[in-house]
Structure 1
Amino acid sequence: MTQTVPQTTAGANEIRDAVERILAAASLPPIVQAGHPALRQRAAEFDGQLSAEQLHRLIGIMRQVMHEAPGVGLAAPQLGIPLQLAVLEDQFNVEPEAATLRNRSPLEFLAILNPRYTPLGPELASFYEGCLSLNGLQAVVARPESVLLEYLTPDGEAERRRFAGWQARIVQHETDHLHGILYLDRAQLRSLSSNAEYAAHWAEAGIGKAREGLGFDAGPAGISVD
């Protein structure tokens, strides 16, 4: 099934106004939840809508929101800003068994603009995945094990970087956000679990027990989002 993701209609002034409201607020902004239009639209590419100072301050706030959530990534649309900007960082302590199985290693802080990823090879990895904009839920998503990410740095430099394992999953998840895609669009929906039920029944490093108990396969969900 192919879905058409609408392009945001927000112009530079609207984006700038939204950012200024966040920068002027006395508290951190909330993370918007599924159903908010910014999460279901292709965000505007960054092309100078914000000054260097505004962009730097926004990145700082996004990093704070990500840490407080807590999470390993946050995209600007999750704050209601339809702009192709995301921050990523994974410094969580993970049990060695889970880290090895998931190929999970620390990811230093990274801010990316206008990202695109390309799978590197046919290998897929299937694990439970959650989202700060879908509070309380997790589902199994099959994603490419390694990807090439092309993006702009906040300084305007074009970068190409390879990511593998859990880092590749974070990169794909956040880049998807900027194109109006939520992880549920790619998930095995029979695996969908509340956090409480996941903790009670399926919280192990792999997905074998959940696959058998809930009756889903470990492959891609078969959806293509253009």
Structure 2
Amino acid sequence: MESTRGASFAAEVKRFRTIRSLSKAALARRLSVDPSYVSHLEGGRERGSSQLARRLDTVLDAGGAVWRAWQDEPSATSPRSEKPDSPAAALLVLEDDAALTFDGTTYHLRMRRWLHNTGTEPVTRYLARIAVDRHPGEPERSNELYRSRPLTFDELQLTAHCGDEPMTWTVKHDRDAFKEVWLEFANARTRFPLYPGQETEITYTYSVSEALWGRWFQRAVRLPTRELSVSLTFPAALQPTVWGTESSLTATFAPLRTPAERTEQGELAVFTWTTLDPPLHTRFRLEWNLRTDTPEESEPVPTPSTLMTQAGIVQEGDPLLASTAQPFDLPSEAEEAHTVVRKLKEGIARVRALHTFGKGMGLAAPQINIGRAAAVVVPPDAGAEPIILLNPTIAEASAELDRQYEGCLSYFDVRGLVPRPLSVVIAHTDLDGTPRLTRFDHGLARLVLHEVDHLHGVLYRDRMDPDTEPITVDEYRGTGENWTYS
């Protein structure tokens, strides 16, 4: 029998929905939930998360009444099954929301989970899995693909947040087509464990090229979950069609009980699907077809330089690559510098979706058709922060050199053996005008010097020893591997 306090939240939702002359379906649309979920809320069978309660209060213009009723109601968020006996198992997923977007070449995934700790110990990490398969049902073909072109953390561009706080992550498994990472409730500045009785929202994002991800997406229910939803977004011009299946430990694949609903948003087609209280160990799989003008097998393979051109990288022969970039007047041009850095990071994201950079990589503003003295360098270490260089010049360089092969996005079909100092000190400027001196060694020194050269109109061909020529990318054997130093 429902308690008075337990019914107050449900009563307030129904009262304000009636006052606002909204049907259950209309309220569900505003909340982006299934209409049956509104029935569960008003019937007292579902309490929802604190985030949902705040959204309800706003949508219903309840002036805080709905939110206060939710706060007054005793917690009903313990799992319906046996009580878990470990911190990880004690997590209850109130909302599990996956949003997959295809931009024509790359899949971008955002996972959002609203978690409630129903256990007795603080939770300090969350396990995230990433699995791809370009050729489902053809294991030999997939194995051949991923042996030659493994999925890397470098191209995934994995990011994670708990609320507004960035989350660090550590690798548990790193296989060619499968990754597992622990998302830590911590970063370099602070720790934020999820204590018993608390709720929080975590999100993580990553991107995978279409060349590595087939036309499917699967959600496996590994923790007690109240609401699971998936959205798939495609260019409408590709005429996408979507269907789905579900399976469990005891049942083979069967059609989803409800279809994905399609809506049009400008030039995009969006498919959404939601289920409530999915059973543990159930797997929901969505698949799709896209219209293509030519069969996949007959499509010509673009050259590396062609791919870079398509990603917006200025190619060799453009006068801008032979010119000295204009320095920023900082801090007065801080806003413009910030915009250029943002555009560089966007360019890096496009490029990293097309190629594995085991050595790290960099991009200078002239390479995206901006003649300003800015560059961004991405270290090879997974999770390392990008290095931003504004108005960089060489303040000091070691006399000791080494020779390693380099590639340049502006003529990416070849690799050249280039002598570089093993250590360098770079003078550069912060956005607020503060001058900096930063030392870089070995591979980072090489990456940074390559980009500083770009800002002074110098390409690595100009640094190569006399009578030495680049080799084709097919001849080069170091793709995807870091430089080695004794």
Whether these two folds match at TM > 0.5 is: yes
- Between the aligned partners of 2:428 and 2:469, the Cα distance in structure 1 is 32
Q: Which residue of 1 aligns with 2:366?
A: 77
Could you tell me how far apart the structure 2 residues matched to 1:165 and 1:74 are? 18
Q: Deviations along 1:121-162, whole A, 9 cap, x unmatched?
A: 311011000111112110100000001100012232210011
- 2:346 counterpart of 1:33: no
Structure 1, 153-162 or 44-53: larger mean CA deviation: 44-53
Please state whether the residue corresponding to 2:370 is helix, strand or coil.
coil
Pick closer, same or farther for the CA change 1:155–1:204 going to 2, 3 Å: closer
Letter of the 2:366 partner, please give it: P
In structure 1, distance between residues paired with 2:406 and 2:342: 25
Q: Whose radius of gyration is greater, 1 or 2?
A: 2
Supply the AA of the counterpart residue of 1:109. P
CA distance in structure 2 between the partners assigned to 1:186 and 1:84 by the alignment: 20
Counterparts of 1:150 and 1:204, CA distance in 2:
26
Cα distance in 1 for residues equivalent to 2:397 and 2:314 = 32
Partner of 1:215: none
CA-CA distance at 1:59 after TM superposition: 1.1
The count of aligned residue pairs is 167
Counterparts of 2:430 and 2:474 in 1: how far apart (Å)? 38
In structure 1, the partner of 2:462 is 185
Offset at residue 29 of structure 1 (A):
6.7
Q: Report the Cα distance in structure 1 between the residues aligned to 2:477 and 2:332, rounded to whole angstroms.
A: 42
Q: Counterparts of 1:111 and 1:126 in 2: how far apart (Å)?
A: 25
Alignment partner for residue 67 of structure 1, among 342, 349, 362? 349
> Deviation per CA, 1:178-210, whole angstroms, max 9, x where unpaired?
00000110013535111111139xx9967xxxx
Tell me which amino acid in the other structure corresponds to 1:41.
Answer: S
Change (3 A) 1:29 1:204: closer
Residue 114, structure 1, aligned to residue 391, structure 2: yes
Q: What 5-or-longer segments of structure 1 have no aligned partner? A: 1-27, 94-105, 207-226
Provide the rounded CA distance (Å) in 2 between the counterparts of 1:107 and 1:141. 25
Structure-2 change in CA distance of 1:42 and 1:138 (3 Å): same
Q: Structure 2 unaligned runs (5+)?
A: 1-309
Match of 1:12 in 2: none
> Equivalents in 2 of 1:135, 1:116: separation in Å?
25
Alignment pair present for 1:165 and 2:454:
no
Q: Give the Å deviation of 1:43.
A: 1.2
CA RMSD after TM alignment:
2.9
Give the structure 2 partner of residue 135 of structure 1.
412
Deviation at 1:52, TM superposition (A): 3.4
TM-score (norm 2): 0.32
Rounded Cα–Cα distance in structure 1 between residues aligned with 2:476 and 2:449:
23
Q: Percent identity, aligned pairs only?
A: 35
Shift in alpha-carbon separation, 1:177–1:121, aligned structure 2, 3 A: same
Determine if contact 1:119/1:144 at 8 Å carries over to the other structure: no
Distance (whole Å) between structure 2 residues aligned to residue 146 and residue 44 of structure 1? 26
Shift of 1:114: 1.1
| Pair 1:159–1:49, CA change in 2 (3 A) | closer
Amino acid at match of 1:75: A
Q: Is the 8 A contact 2:379 2:385 kept in 1?
A: yes
Partner of 1:98: none
Q: TM-score, normalised by structure 1?
A: 0.65
Give distance in 2, aligned partners of 1:74 and 1:155.
22
Q: 2:377 aligns with which of 61, 75, 88?
A: 88
1:50–1:129: structure 2 CA closer, same or farther, 3 Å change rule? farther
Answer whether contact 1:85 1:178 (CA < 8 A) is retained.
yes
Opposite residue 348 of structure 2, the aligned amino acid is M
Task: Give the corresponding residue for 1:46.
Answer: 328
Is the CA contact (8 Å cut-off) linking 2:423 and 2:442 kept in structure 1? yes
Match of 1:148 among 410, 425, 430: 425
For 1:194 and 1:49, the matched residues in 2 are separated by 43
Q: Is the 8 A contact 2:364 2:451 kept in 1?
A: yes
Q: Is the Cα–Cα contact under 8 Å of residues 91 and 108 in structure 1 kept in the other structure?
A: no
CA distance in 2 between counterparts of 1:204 and 1:113 reads 26
Residues 328 and 337 in structure 2, CA contact (< 8 A), matched pair in contact too: no
Give the counterpart letter for 1:82 in structure 2.
Answer: G
